[in-house]
Amino acid sequence: MNSVRARTDRILDWLQRTGTDVLAMQETKCKDEQFPHERFEELGYRVAHVGLSQWNGVAIASRVGLDDVQIGFDDQPGFSKDPEAEPALEARAIGATCAGVRVWSLYVPNGRDLHDPHYTYKLDWLAKLRADAHGWATAAPEQPIALVGDWNVAPTDDDVWDPAFFEGKTHTSQPERDAFHAFAEVGYTDVVRPYAPGPGVYTYWDYTQLRFPKKQGMRIDFVLGSPAFTARVTGAEIDRNERKGKGASDHAPVIVDLEV
């Protein structure tokens, strides 16, 4: 999203135009008291948000119920630049139940560089999320669960505009891809891919170097569904047009339709 306050009008216009019931947002870049709750409530959406500073931040907006809100998953690791300091929990995960569906809005750490401590943090974060997500689906197999958000991983070469460009960089390294594919091993499915086959289907285009008009993007935003969630999916798409125009985010919305 890259700042909810800078894009509130676009978000609300999009919600009205598409009739979306539940919206998971990442990179809101604001504290809780700065989030424009009133604007969403005017359209009938309740919002759960966690933001600690001008960085990170995740939210869920729903007009079909917002229950059992949880900030962070149980084993979520923290991060600190100082190895001697206590790692701080960042605003990267929030869960809520919306019309019976358990939705998690997730902003996976970027990783920064293959030799940066943030890269190790990213891999640990994904491993801990996978373990918890496996536990959720095992404990309540009938519960539809959606892991939604910016995963900062391009799991295959089809998910980047030029694999050679990303050699030696984050997002496409084998450990990151293995961490992403490990979710499939515990039953979570990329529910969008069957409806948006690649290559050349992306969700993110960097603001620099005219990446969007050059069609130089990445697919790093996903909805991974538990078996109970996947069974209810009737369609999906990536709204590439929303990346266009003034004030657009560098990410495009990923939309999933469910059988009610």
Query: Per the annotation, where are the binding residues for Mg(2+)?
Result: 27, 150, 152, 250-251
- Residues near 255 by beta carbon (within 8 Å), at least 6 away in sequence: 18, 20, 236, 237, 238, 239
Binding residues: 27, 150, 152, 250-251
Sign of the alpha-carbon torsion through 77, 249, 240, 216: negative
Report the catalytic residues. Answer: 107, 150, 251
Q: Residue length, the chain?
A: 260
Dihedral angle computed from the Cα positions of residues 218, 93, 25 and 211, in that order, rounded to the nearest 10 degrees: -20
3-state secondary structure of 259: coil
CB 28 within 8 A of CB 7: no
Single out the residue of 93, 127, 243, 114 nearest to residue 171, CA to CA.
Answer: 114
DSSP state of 93: E
Instruction: Give the position of tokens 């990267």.
Output: 92
Q: How far apart are CA 134 and CA 61, in angstroms?
A: 25
Query: Would you tell me how many other CB atoms lie within 10 Å of the CB of residue 74?
Result: 10
Q: How far apart are CA 153 and CA 46, in angstroms?
A: 30
DSSP state of 208: G
Q: How far apart are CA 159 and CA 79, in angstroms?
A: 28
CA 43-230-248 angle, to 5 degrees, is 40
